[in-house]
Amino acid sequence: MNQLINKNLYGDYGDKENAGGASGSHDTSSEWPLWEVFIRSKAGLDHKHAGSLHAADAQMAIENARDVYTRRMEGVSIWVVESKYIHASDPGESESMYEPATDKIYRHPTFYDLPDELKHM
Amino acid sequence: MSTNQLFYTLQIADNALILGHRISEWCGHGPILEQDIAITNTSLDHLGQARSLYQHAADLFNALSSAEKTNCFASAALQAKISKGENLTEDDLAYLRDGWDFRNVLLVEQPNKDWAYTIARSFFYDAYNFCFYTELQKSKDSALAAIAEKSLKEVTYHLRWSSEWVIRLGDGTDESHARIQEAINSYWAFTGELFEMSVVDKAAGEVDVNALKPVWLQRVTTVLDEATITVPKDAWMHSGGKDGRHTEHLGYILAEMQFMQRAYPNMEW
């Protein structure tokens, strides 16, 4: 007798879609766009990158950011920007981009004798 | 101190608890991670309001005379405590009352069904809750006024969130439009009770909920218009929740919610 045994695991319910993206590529065309979230923790400080999330538009992105990233009083101001508008430097070019700076310590203002009266440098 | 102020507080608290519980059923099942967290946050807001209100209700109850206490609740588990002269706590009121002692409106106990029904129910209630708490800030009862003032900030966000979802679904795809229209039509029949003055409402002399209807209707109509949703025509309305006559759904909610305290009295975790 051919019997189909359905083993239910924790978290199995509903439409039984593949979890964890095991199937490899899946169509992302129907997904909401990705947004980067920046949070200012208190007035006077800079906005800092907090993470990313999905949202249908900017309004929803701000509200999602409020619910995902500020629910433990992390912030007083939120910026969001669609991830596709972030332009990043190429990690493959890091040798030419950043290494030339490593042997030029004279660019730090540490070669000046400061009078003792000067406290906050 | 009269029992009416206790019942009035419970009426508000029960709405918060039952809707909060209903919404919490989405936890881990949201359509997308971000909205799962959003709706769970909202659920916690409602439960937080319920706690403040039940604490106040417990204080009101414990200040009653023993004759008044005996006549407040029909629930056997509460009667057992009362007959022993014990004080009641917020937990007793949430976990040991039977369905007929609950005074929430029928709308909040209706099932989630799908995202559209959940949004429609929240939208109707949030719009009411916003009008209601705005008025309750003027309560003669300073505890209720303080709870209203604190809750209004949360409710303002709830209304904004549910309104936007009604608009997104209504003005979205053909399918989302059809689904939210169906949900709005189905739960419309539960909105009348929100504005009915129950015996308790009348005796409390607090918020005149009947007078909130035009403000609510205008708000709801504005959002539904923007969502390209047809506003349902006035029709027959369900009621009874405020008097303890509930739909079958409340029993299932209480069975799940109260099981632990009923099976293992006073357990903590």
Interface contact B34-A71, CB threshold 8 A: no
Nearest to A57 by CA among A35, A79, A74: A35
Closest to B26 in 3D by CA, of B38, B11, B13, B36: B36
Give B32 to chain A, closest Cα distance, Å.
8
CB contact (8 A) between residue B164 and residue A60:
yes
The answer to whether A10 faces chain B, any CB pair under 8 Å, is no
Give, for all 121 residues of chain A, the pLDDT tens digit: 455 555 544 444 444 444 444 445 667 777 899 999 999 999 899 999 999 999 999 999 999 999 999 988 889 999 999 999 999 988 888 888 888 888 888 887 777 788 888 887 6
Which value does ipTM take for this structure?
A: 0.79
Q: Which residue of B has its CA nearest to A54?
A: B34
The Cα of A45 is separated from the nearest Cα of chain B by a number of Å equal to 25
Pick A56's closest partner by Cβ from B29, B161, B168. B168
Q: Is the dihedral of CA B220, B225, B229, B233 positive or negative?
A: positive
Task: Please answer yes or no on whether B161 and A63 come within 8 Å at the CB atom.
Answer: yes
Distances (CA, A) of A5 to A1, A2, A23, A101, B158: 12, 9, 22, 63, 44
CB pairs under 8 A between A and B: 29
Q: What CA–CA distance (Å, rounded) separates B21 from B11?
A: 16
Of chain A, the percentage scoring pLDDT greater than 70 comes to 77
For residues B226 and B171, the answer to whether their CB atoms sit within 8 Å is: yes
pLDDT value at position B13?
98
The chain A residue lying nearest B157, using CA atoms, is: A63
Given a contact cutoff of 8 angstroms between Cβ atoms, the answer to whether A33 and A39 are in contact is no
Going from N- to C-terminal start, the domains of chain A cover 31-85
pLDDT in tens, A103-118: 888 887 777 788 888 8
**B265–chain A nearest CA distance, Å:** 28
CATH number of A31-85: 3.10.20.520
Strand partners, B261: none
Choose among B58, B55, B53, B23: nearest CA to B39: B23
Q: Give the chain A residue whose CA is nearest to the CA of B172.
A: A56
Cα–Cα distance, B161 to B39 (Å, whole number): 9
Please judge whether B41 and A54 are an interchain contact, meaning their C-beta atoms are less than 8 angstroms apart. no
Q: Is A59 on the interface with B (CB under 8 A)?
A: yes
Partner-chain contact A54 B32, CB within 8 Å: yes
- Closest Cα partner for A39 from A10, A71, A11, A16? A71
Which one of B23, B27, B32, B34 makes the best mutation probe of the A interface by having the most chain A beta carbons within 10 Å? B34
Which positions in chain A touch B34 (Cβ < 8 Å)?
53-55, 64, 67-68
pLDDT tops 80 at residue B138: yes
Note whether B239 and B196 are within 8 A (CB).
Answer: yes
Look at B38 and A63 and tell me if their CB atoms are within 8 Å.
Answer: yes
CA-to-CA distance for B105 and B12, rounded, in angstroms? 9
Reduced 3-state DSSP string for chain B: CCHHHHHHHHHHHHHHHHHHHHHHCCCCCCCCHHHHHHHHHHHHHHHHHHHHHHHHHHHHHHCCCHHHHHCCCCCHHHHHHHHCCCCCCHHHHHHCCCHHHCCCCHHHHCCCCCHHHHHHHHHHHHHHHHHHHHHHCCCCCHHHHHHHHHHHHHHHHHHHHHHHHHHHHHCCCHHHHHHHHHHHHHHHCCCHHHHCCCHHHHHHCCCCHHHHHHHHHHHHHHHHHHCCCCCCCCCCCCCCHHHCCCCHHHHHHHHHHHHHHHHCCCCCC
Structure tokens at B171: 């003005």
Q: How far apart are CA A78 and CA A65, in angstroms?
A: 7
Chain B CB contacts of A55 under 8 Å are 34
| pLDDT confidence tier of residue B224, bands split at 50, 70 and 90 | very high
Range B14-35 average pLDDT: 96
Q: Which residues of B have a CB under 8 Å from any CB of A?
A: 29, 32-35, 37-38, 41, 160-161, 164, 168
Average pLDDT of chain B?
96
Q: A79 forms bridges with which residues in the sheet? A: A38
What's the gap in Å between the CA of B33 and the closest CA on chain A? 9
Concatenate the DSSP letters of all residues of chain A into one string: ---------TT--TT-PPSTTTTS----TTSPPEEEEEEE-STTSPEEEEEEEE-SSHHHHHHHHHHHHSTTS--SEEEEEEGGG-----GGGHHHHHGGGTT-GGGSS-SSPPPTT----
Fold entry, domain B3-263: Ferritin (1.20.1260)
A19 interfacial to chain B (CB closer than 8 Å):
no
Contact B34 A59 (CB under 8 A): no
Sequence-separated (6 or more) residues with CB below 8 Å from residue A15? none
Question: In which region does residue B182 sit, left (phi positive, over 0), alpha (psi from -120 to 50) or beta (all else)?
Answer: alpha
pLDDT given for residue A26 in this prediction: 64
Q: B35-90, pLDDT tens digit by residue?
A: 999 999 999 999 999 999 999 999 999 999 999 999 999 999 999 999 999 999 99
Specify the pTM: 0.86
CB within 8 Å: B32 and A14: no
